[in-house]
Structure 1
């Protein structure tokens, strides 16, 4: 029996972010699952060019005018305190997905150019932008794996809040992952730094994620936190070395945990300093 067939299809919904991807490693009995692609951190210009290619191709489907210059790196693609994830198909080696992550370690989040975040949304935060995957069924699986890489990065770096700005229909997929609205329920706000395209601003508390997914019986719970995916490699992600921490949060006691939520059900807490 292969890894995909050994995973049970417990309570899957039709939401596209869950879709095919939740079938990989969903059973508690599956400790490791392989993906038909790899996810890695962009570490050189060649990898960045591959990420830009899939980014532009995806954005051309929805906002062609905005995407016309996306083959050119943006300043956030190389900025300290951020990184770009790249998914590549094993069979062909072609880029199939990407996501950019930007923390507020060294400067405010990009979204704060356009809006003022409420006081409850503060501390160690990270934003995800430029999510792009190939069209069709395979893209749904890539999207879920990119989100898992995003989540694991947050866990390993002691980040408290994910903050995203999503266009429709992607906003509904984040809502399905239990992101909450920052402003009005379902409210879309034009963002000046994103060509005034309306986005829904949503946030997600990292430290309570495992409990909330488990209590909700979320179809992606096992995929996200109880299955080791060796094809997700965050080893090239630089440590943020947040002030007030006495350890390097990037390196867990068990190196395998950097690719698996199994050892991260409770987020590592940074040491307090007085």
Structure 2
């Protein structure tokens, strides 16, 4: 396995300033297509802090600027965001699943930012025993990218579903089976196999933020004993 360093770090969201930066980038990215949706994604979103949710951030190594973000939400115990708008087939509902949402990448950045966000999401899904990744997509360019990554249509290219969590706009639904992905990429000579499987990227820091250990209260020493004559 080869080792490759990046010009940025991909890590989970850690604190309130991170959350503000994520929401600002979402508004900027979505605002190019839909100003109303931009206002919505810029608002506080409780899902960002729910258990089972991981917000990934790609941050420049030099100045710490946020370059891209992607959210991964598990479907247990709550339903996935898209499941409030459409009922998934039984073959998907029978397994642990997660939805990739709120993809936002700053315009003009290295194309590797988006690819490494997806690689980080795939590794996170592996580590948390997610079997199926699902996404909704509306842009033809984004749909092509998901197909290149190995996502498949849940129904067909003719099925467009209005999605409440993205402003009610019609989207296609695609899925990706996590177990066996490495073998599928290998057997199909997928061009991303060397990048996703055969290359170690130490700048993908997927460990959750450390929880500070509270300091133990200082116990004062007992008073000295008084010796009686």
| TM-score, scaled relative to structure 1 | 0.72
Aligned residue for 2:26, secondary structure, equals helix
Aligned residue for 2:200, secondary structure, equals coil
2:11 alignment counterpart: 40
- Give the whole-Å Cα distance in 2 for the aligned partners of 1:174 and 1:229: 21
The structure that is strand-richer by fraction is 2
1:57 alignment counterpart: 28
* 2:172 is aligned with 1:200: yes
1:89 alignment counterpart: 60
Unaligned stretches of 5+ in structure 2?
Answer: 211-229
Deviations 1:100-159 (A, max 9, x none): 110012211111000000011121100000001011351x21100000000000111111
1:15 alignment counterpart: none
Aligned residue for 1:77, secondary structure, equals helix
Deviations 1:30-82 (A, max 9, x none): 62100111111002111111111211111111222210243322121111111
Match of 1:136 among 85, 103, 108: 108
Aligned positions, number:
208
- Give the whole-Å Cα distance in 1 for the aligned partners of 2:85 and 2:40: 21
Unaligned stretches of 5+ in structure 1?
Answer: 1-29, 239-274
1:184 alignment counterpart: 156
The runs of 4+ residues in structure 1 deviating greater than 3 Å are none
- Give the whole-Å Cα distance in 2 for the aligned partners of 1:195 and 1:82: 21
2:227 alignment counterpart: none
Q: How far did residue 215 of structure 1 move? A: 1.5
